[in-house]
């Protein structure tokens, strides 16, 4: 009997990236939906944490993942490049980082500390970019389209390696370790109790 050919480690990494990307896009889409449902303006207490979730989850597939790499922006359809740039730029410039240097898109510093005097109130605050709430509706639509793109790529893997998919009941880890089978039965879900913090 001929042995079934296993995917290469690079193919597994790509497979892993597309699966992870679908999860990330679905989370970004859910955050967009919550903004539309609950946030009538920027001052709503849920807006900032939900916007952070949108930009962070959306950007994950396009940032380096040690062990798996990253997806190139070329996978984003050309007509959607603008919204992709906005989502990833805001993540890197406002949401996850707070660089005090000139931003290449704005042509000026965009994260600033301001001292204010307003009647009896005085103090420091920070200024950062904001987008119209309607853009998060567009972002949700874009995330759904990206899920379709990633699903189409996964279909290619199923076509080539579907015969290797486990058929017995259980949860299987997609292994990225060299010289290991593609799937291993069982895994430990990471949580605070499984990490060692000093």
Report CA Rg, the chain. Answer: 21
pLDDT at residue 82, rounded to an integer: 94
Structure pTM? Answer: 0.84
Supply 187's token pair.
């895994």
Distance CA 164, CA 186 (A): 16
End-to-end CA distance of the chain, in Å?
52
Helix (H) / strand (E) element for 125: namely: strand 121-127
Q: Using alpha carbons only, give the angle 90, 113, 34 rounded to the nearest 5 degrees.
A: 40
Question: In a 10 Å sphere around its CB, with 0-12 CB exposed, 13-18 middle and 19+ buried, how is residue 170 labelled?
Answer: exposed
84 contacts 74 by C-beta, under 8 angstroms: no
Q: pLDDT by residue (tens digit) across 22-39? A: 999 999 999 999 999 999
Is 20's pLDDT higher than 50?
yes
CA atoms of 36 and 86, how far apart (whole Å): 18
What was the pLDDT predicted at 126?
81
Exposed / middle / buried, residue 119 (Cβ in 10 Å: 0-12, 13-18, 19+)? exposed
Summarize the confidence of residues 159-188 as an average pLDDT.
88
């Amino acid at each position: 009997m001929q042995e079934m050919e296993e995917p290469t480690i690079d193919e597994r990494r790509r497979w892993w990236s597309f699966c992870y990307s679908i999860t990330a896009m679905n989370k970004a889409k859910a955050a967009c939906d919550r903004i539309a449902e609950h946030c009538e303006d920027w001052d709503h207490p849920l807006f900032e944490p939900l916007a952070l979730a949108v930009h962070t989850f959306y950007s994950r597939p396009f940032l380096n993942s040690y062990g798996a790499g990253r997806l190139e922006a070329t996978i984003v359809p050309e007509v959607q490049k603008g919204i992709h740039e906005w989502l990833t730029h805001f993540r890197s410039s406002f949401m996850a980082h707070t660089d005090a240097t000139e931003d290449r898109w704005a042509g000026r510093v965009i994260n600033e500390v301001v001292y204010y005097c307003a009647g009896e109130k005085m103090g420091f605050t920070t200024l950062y970019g904001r987008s119209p709430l309607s853009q998060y509706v567009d972002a949700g639509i874009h995330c759904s389209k990206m899920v379709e793109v990633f699903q189409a790529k996964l279909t290619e893997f199923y076509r080539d390696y579907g015969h290797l998919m486990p058929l017995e009941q259980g949860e299987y880890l997609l292994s990225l370790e060299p010289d290991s089978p593609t799937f291993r039965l069982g895994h430990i879900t990471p949580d605070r109790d499984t990490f060692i913090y000093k």
